[in-house]
Amino acid sequence: MVQNAWLIPLFPLVAYLLLFVLGRRAQEGIVTGISVLAALAGFIVSLLILSDVNANGAQAPYVFHWLTVGQHSLSMGYEVTPLNAMMLTVVTFISTLVLLFSKGYMHGDERYSVFYQYLNLFIFSMLGLVISPNLLQVYMFWELVGLCSFLLVGFWYFKPEAAAAAKKAFIVTRIGDVGLFIGIVLIYVATGTFEYSGVFEAFQAKKFAIDWITPDHLITLIGILVFIGAIGKSAQFPLHTWLPDAMEGPTPVSALIHAATMVAAGVYLVARAFPIFEASPDTLTVIGIIGGITAIFAALIGLTQNDIKRVVAYSTVSQLGYMVMALGVSAYTASTFHLMTHAFFKALLFLASGSVIHAIHHNQDLRKMGGLWKKLPLTGWTFLVGALALSGIPPFAGFWSKDEILLGAYNSGHYVLFTLALIAAFCTAFYIFRVFFMTFTGEFRGEKDVYDHAHESGPVMAIPLVLLSIMAIVVGFLNSPLMNNAFEHFLFKGGEEIGNVYEANWGMAGLATLVALLGIGLAYLMYKKQSIKPENLANGALRPLYQLSLNKFYVDELYHYVIVKPVVWIGHILNFIDKWIVDGIVHLFGEGTLIGSLGLKYSQNGQVQTYGLVTLVGAVLLIGFAMYAVGGVK
Amino acid sequence: MMGNLLTLIVFLPLLGALILGFVPRSANGQPKAIALIATFLPLLFAFILYGNFDSAQSGMQFSESKEWIHIAHAFQDKELVIGYSLGVDGLAMPFLLLTALVTFLGVLATKSMQRAKEFFIWYLILVTGLYGCFLAQDLFLFFLFLEMTLVPMYFLIGIWGGDRKGQVATKFLIYRGLASVGILVSFVALAFKAAVVTGTITMDMTSIAQAFAKAPADAITAGFKHGIFLVLFLAILIEEAFFPFHTWLPDTHEQSPSTISMVVGGVLMKIGAYVLFRIGVGILPDAVKYYATVIAVIGVINIVYAALVAMVQKDWRRLLAFSAISHMGVVLLGVAAMNQEGLQGGIFMTISSGLLSGLLFFLIGAVRERTGTTIINALGGLSKPMPVLAGFLLAAALGSLGLPGMSGFISEILAFMGGFAAFPGLSAVGTLGIIFAAVYLLWAMQRTTYGPTTAQLEGLSDARAIEYVPMVVFVALIILIGVYPSILGDLVNHTISSYVTRIGG
């Protein structure tokens, strides 16, 4: 079955081309039908491959020749490993549901078909990235994923904010991409190949064709460069700023970006290319620290945001931080497991948020919500499941995977990271239940008219919510002692174990649960019972901290004044120099030597004969000189 | 059958110009029809040659050679031979196809205008000059064809250009005239020095290359090669519009009619790069290697400088000019690396930049025709009235900023694969260009096609049927090279390998 893996990305590609040919006036039902069927077909093939890999383990990649460069041959192809079989399954599953959900959410949009085209291209790119057997191919799909998120974030292009957010997403991630670009180019120069297997061997042997740096330093340098790519794509600090702005895109896009495609790519790459990072303890340390900072930093910002999608977006940044940190402390299994569980409950949270937003006329401001439980019971229940999973309450999915990450940080002796992660877990539980209480309990704070018309949106939006809720409840058991850590056994099927694995520790589980419950409790007191007034905190002693969090630690402003403005200024200065100095000197030179002798009055009248003559005379003189000087004529 | 195809390709446009001379001035549409035929036939022939081209060979194919000027006792009693010789190898083939394509699509894209007959006469003379430059196998012949591009360009800008046309046409002429002088000087020096070794003064490129490769070190000294390369390189810098000799290019693009911008950006300015490969790398590889660091530094300066200046341009045409300069900086970096990856990347980038420039200037011309402007801030929200044109513009911008799956990416990464092997530090600085390209192109796109549509831009018409031809052809080729680069790589691979072996030896 594994040899048919190429079919999986092909389905959405074909769907994309079909929709492209059908044009933008295609019927909504047909558009959705084609897309959902393609993704579903991909999901079914993925399941078959999953069971094949579960039985037989990883297999050698299938490659074909792509380009000859002197002695080297670059190839393209596909491969299936337990890790990417898992990714294929998750991506196709979530994609299918998002495509279905979009039928309700995008109904009536002028560019409905275009939206589905982009979604299919997006899914194709992510699947292509996942089955790539070499880093060049990864990079190509990596950029295509970035392109699709650019197109989708800016889908409502007539909104200036959407256009700006799309551009920002592309440029900020591209800064990271250049790190990856240099990283893989150096890998090629050092090892002569882009193939994972060849690169890993060279990294083990530490034999490189680069001599301006010691092998050990080169390993660290390359590791960090490649990781910079992941920082951009997975929205890690300090390149996280694009992800919350990307909320300008339609909500199904957010679900896709945050759960299955785009941001998962960074974590996936670090996991897939783990031997590159593992070869240098320094690289791992950097990865761990960046992940830890991101986890806590985004969680702190999430505490105060007023846009429902932004809170969920910051929770993604924070959860990605957990995954990255876990890789940094070599908790490989925990990280990939969290990547999987997070995909389900984060897609759930976004689609549930989308259902809320859709029901109340595309309002995203939490301050204008409230009391929606009665109107949207199914959405409320499913959001609650997602929130519990995100908070890490047993037995929901996030509990199992987050617990393993905490354990991994603690057992490997990274106590600072462990503490940060624990605090972040508290914040996570608090902010997501703040959203829950502000949305579904209390009184509606928006216009009464809107509230009266709010209602659930029918089966195309309900089915994805229910299926994802089920997954968010059960999927965590896969790597629990209750199922004998099945996920872990699957992940290392037919290969060596990577990273550290620890026995379940019920004490740690208890601590993590307690912290999460405390967070939920505080949110309950503040936003349900209102026995602690949030306004009092925001305007009281905590005001500076509140402002800091609300304004996202002013990182955007910092970048604007420290990077964007200066670069544009340099551009203006250089443009001035170009116009008045570079061009000016040439003008002077030209007019002084060539035209000056003939009198300036001829210089602007366009006498082509004159210039022809001047050129000819000059040429003859120069040739004469040259012949004399080189010794041909004497 | 292939016997005289190259001659036909070169001179059919000129024949078209002659025929046009007899067409009455008043004839409507006829000039364009004749120009279409006179550029389509060479396109057809070029593709026939491509179909019969053997890419496993590194030498010249389909050669035509006739003795043209022969003086038995020229200087120092040596024999002087100037040949009319044309040929194609793996290096020239992509340039031939590029010229054929861009010049034909240029005619197709030309809107009706005043004095169309004269326009096409000059245009066709220019086309013959362009073909000649890439096909000539004799330095003297090359030089003649190069000069043949000068005068038509002067009139094409000077008569049909924008409000500063006179000044800019003159500037174009002076700049490129100077470049010609440098090229001529270095050619003459090359021929005479080769004669010291062979005993015959010949302008034949292959003979000169062989003479230089075989000559003992005392016959042709390193100092001589370095000196001659410097003169040639200076000319290339002007010809190819590299900093600090680039200022003619933004002016030319700004003031030219869009057809001419397509041809300048697509083909004409690539002559400099072609000379760098053909004469610089092909005949003076030691000198290129000797000055590699200088070339790489100039390349990186161009990448970064032009990208920064592009960022603040107000006019799309100037932005695209600086964008092209920045991209051609990557070519210099690749050449300076003097390895297989770098040289291949350099050729890829030259061709890719030609295709993308052709497409971009066509699109900006189409936008200008409808909106009356190319000033970025005067546009906005074009996606609504013209989704197709806006979509193609986005595709072209993405190709230009190096999106994988399109020709720019594979060119860029190959050049940097070479660059990082030879100059890791400089190359790292050069990668800034990758970020900046995304910034200036997407920023311009954001202001042009995104956002709300202003009232006066609403209701404008989208692409006409005929306009799909250039757009689709360009995009198809750009994607083809991006997805299956072997289509270009197989052509150039052997020629470059032969260069690289020579450097290694």
* pLDDT value at residue A591: 58
Q: What is the mean pLDDT of chain B?
A: 91
Mean pLDDT of A247-253: 88
Of B154, B188, B381, the CB nearest to A158: B381
* pLDDT value at residue A190: 93
Torsion of CA A243, A249, A252, A254, to 10 degrees: 0
CA-nearest residue to B488 within chain A is A67
* pLDDT value at residue B358: 95
Is the per-residue pLDDT at B504 higher than 70? no
Q: Is B84 helix (H, G, I), strand (E, B) or coil?
A: strand
Of the three residues A516, A532, A548, the one that is the final residue of a domain is A532
Tell me which of B427 and B67 has the higher pLDDT. Answer: B427
- For residue A21, tell me if it sits in a domain: no
Of the three residues A532, A554, A583, the one that is the final residue of a domain is A532
- For residue A73, tell me if it sits in a domain: no
Does the beta-carbon distance from A567 to B308 stay under 8 Å? Answer: yes
Mean pLDDT of B150-178: 89
Distance, in Å, from the CA atom of A148 to the CA atom of A257, rounded to the nearest integer, reads: 10
**What angle, rounded to 10 degrees, do the helices at B340-371 and B465-483 form?**
160
Residue A56: pLDDT band with limits 50, 70, 90: confident
Let me know whether A225 and A370 are in one domain: yes
Q: Is A591 helix (H, G, I), strand (E, B) or coil?
A: helix
| C-beta of residue A118 within 8 angstroms of C-beta of residue A102 | no
Residue A600: pLDDT band with limits 50, 70, 90: very low
Tell me which of B152 and B459 has the higher pLDDT. Answer: B152
- For residue A480, tell me if it sits in a domain: yes
- For residue A117, tell me if it sits in a domain: no
Mean pLDDT of A558-573: 89
Residue A594: pLDDT band with limits 50, 70, 90: low
Read off the pLDDT of residues A7-55 as tens digits, 9 standing for 90 and up.
999 999 999 999 998 888 888 889 999 999 999 999 999 999 999 888 8
Tell me which of A79 and A598 has the higher pLDDT. Answer: A79
* pLDDT value at residue B135: 95
Residues 6+ apart with CB under 8 A from B288: B229, B280, B281, B295, B335, B336, B338
Tell me which of A589 and B450 has the higher pLDDT. Answer: B450
Residue A631: pLDDT band with limits 50, 70, 90: very low
Let me know whether A148 and A276 are in one domain: yes
Is the per-residue pLDDT at A283 higher than 70? yes
Comparing C-alpha atoms, which of B493, B213, B220 is closest to residue B340?
A: B493
Task: Indicate the number of domains in chain A.
Answer: 2
Bridge partners, A65 (sequence order): A75
Read off the pLDDT of residues B318-339 as tens digits, 9 standing for 90 and up.
999 999 999 999 999 999 999 9
Of B75, B413, B453, the CB nearest to A185: B413
**What interface predicted TM-score (ipTM) does this complex get?**
0.93
Is the per-residue pLDDT at B160 higher than 60? yes
- For residue A309, tell me if it sits in a domain: yes
Domain range enclosing A612: 608-633
Comparing C-alpha atoms, which of A294, A314, A322, A306 is closest to residue A254?
A: A314
* pLDDT value at residue A18: 92
Distance, in Å, from the CA atom of A294 to the CA atom of A439, rounded to the nearest integer, reads: 26
Is the per-residue pLDDT at A604 higher than 50? no
- Preceding amide of A238 cis, omega within 30: yes
% of residues, chain A, pLDDT over 70: 92
Does the beta-carbon distance from A626 to B188 stay under 8 Å? Answer: yes
Q: What is the mean pLDDT of chain A?
A: 87
Comparing C-alpha atoms, which of B404, B416, B252, B242 is closest to residue B339?
A: B416
Q: Is A515 helix (H, G, I), strand (E, B) or coil?
A: helix
Q: What are phi and psi of A195, to 5 degrees?
A: -65, 135
Place of tokens 């034949």: B204
Among A216-225, B18-27, B89-98, which is the least confidently predicted range?
B18-27
Among A135-139, A362-366, A422-426, B303-307, which is the least confidently predicted range?
A362-366
Of B405, B446, B497, the CB nearest to A167: B446
Mean pLDDT of B422-442: 93
| C-beta of residue A350 within 8 angstroms of C-beta of residue A386 | no
Mean pLDDT of B138-165: 92
**Domain coordinates in residue numbering, chain B:** 293-505
| C-beta of residue B447 within 8 angstroms of C-beta of residue B376 | yes
Does the beta-carbon distance from A571 to B193 stay under 8 Å? Answer: no
CA-nearest residue to B494 within chain A is A70
Let me know whether A618 and A495 are in one domain: no
> Which residue type sits at B210?
Q
- For residue A570, tell me if it sits in a domain: no
* pLDDT value at residue A516: 92
Residue A628: pLDDT band with limits 50, 70, 90: low
Residue A632: pLDDT band with limits 50, 70, 90: very low
Let me know whether A294 and A434 are in one domain: yes
Does the beta-carbon distance from A626 to B189 stay under 8 Å? Answer: yes
Residues 6+ apart with CB under 8 A from B203: B81, B82, B83, B138, B139, B140, B141, B187, B191
Read off the pLDDT of residues A68-92 as tens digits, 9 standing for 90 and up.
988 888 999 999 999 999 999 999 9
Does the beta-carbon distance from A615 to B384 stay under 8 Å? Answer: no
Closest CA–CA distance from residue B417 to any residue of chain A (Å)? 6
Of the three residues A505, A532, A559, the one that is the final residue of a domain is A532
Mean pLDDT of A56-61: 84
Residue A608: pLDDT band with limits 50, 70, 90: low
Tell me which of B433 and A248 has the higher pLDDT. Answer: B433
- For residue A579, tell me if it sits in a domain: no
Question: Would you report the helix, strand and coil content of chain B in percent, each value rounded to 5?
Answer: 75, 5, 20
Closest CA–CA distance from residue B369 to any residue of chain A (Å)? 23
* pLDDT value at residue A627: 52
Q: How far out from the chain centre does Cα B259 lie? A: 15
Does the beta-carbon distance from A171 to B439 stay under 8 Å? Answer: yes
Does the beta-carbon distance from A611 to B174 stay under 8 Å? Answer: yes
Residue A599: pLDDT band with limits 50, 70, 90: very low
Chain A positions in Cβ-Cβ contact with residue B170 (cut-off 8 Å): 603-604, 606, 611
- For residue A512, tell me if it sits in a domain: yes
